[in-house]
Amino acid sequence: MTPEMKSKSFEFEGYLYATIDFTAPQTPCGITAIVPKAYDGQKLTDPSWIPWNRMPRGWSLVPADLDQSIRDKVIAPFDWGTHLLIVDKGGGYLTQAGKPRGPPGGMQMIWDLEKGPSGLKLQKLKGSHAYWHGRLFIRTQVQ
């Protein structure tokens, strides 16, 4: 683990939590969670929001059965540079940036994951869902 990875992670109960691209927890999202009233129902997710990501060695997706304390202490207080943190099996949990659509830390949606030779990525969404911004949420045990 590099010093940068550690500095852009959040330690909680024996684990370091991070986004797969190591966006620091305090990073503002910069994209509104409010869907414009007049939106294109055929719009697809901006491809730059859903790049392929390689899982860093020793890290894994946060398990789908995450504890309420992780939602309250790790996800809800921060923006993480995104509206949703996506865990194993595609569960999407709202960050502070997603607050206009529900309570931070709450489950908002299931976002399908795509696995391939280049790693993992989120699949494209359509219509009003295309305005969501999500990042894969990973963890590793503190060494």
Give pLDDT tens digits for 66-96. Answer: 999 999 999 999 999 999 999 999 999 999 9
Q: How far apart are CA 25 and CA 113, in angstroms?
A: 22
Instruction: Quote the DSSP letter at residue 112.
Output: -
Cβ atoms of 10 and 74 closer than 8 Å: yes
Given this model, what pLDDT does residue 76 score?
Answer: 97
C-alpha pair distances (Å), 56 with each of 5, 118, 128, 141: 10, 12, 32, 13
Q: What integer is the mean pLDDT of 126-134? A: 84
**With bands split at pLDDT 50, 70 and 90, how would you rate the model's confidence at 22?**
very high
Q: What integer is the mean pLDDT of 13-35? A: 91
Given this model, what pLDDT does residue 40 score?
Answer: 59
Residue 71 forms beta bridges with which residues? none
Name the residue with higher pLDDT: 134 or 43.
134
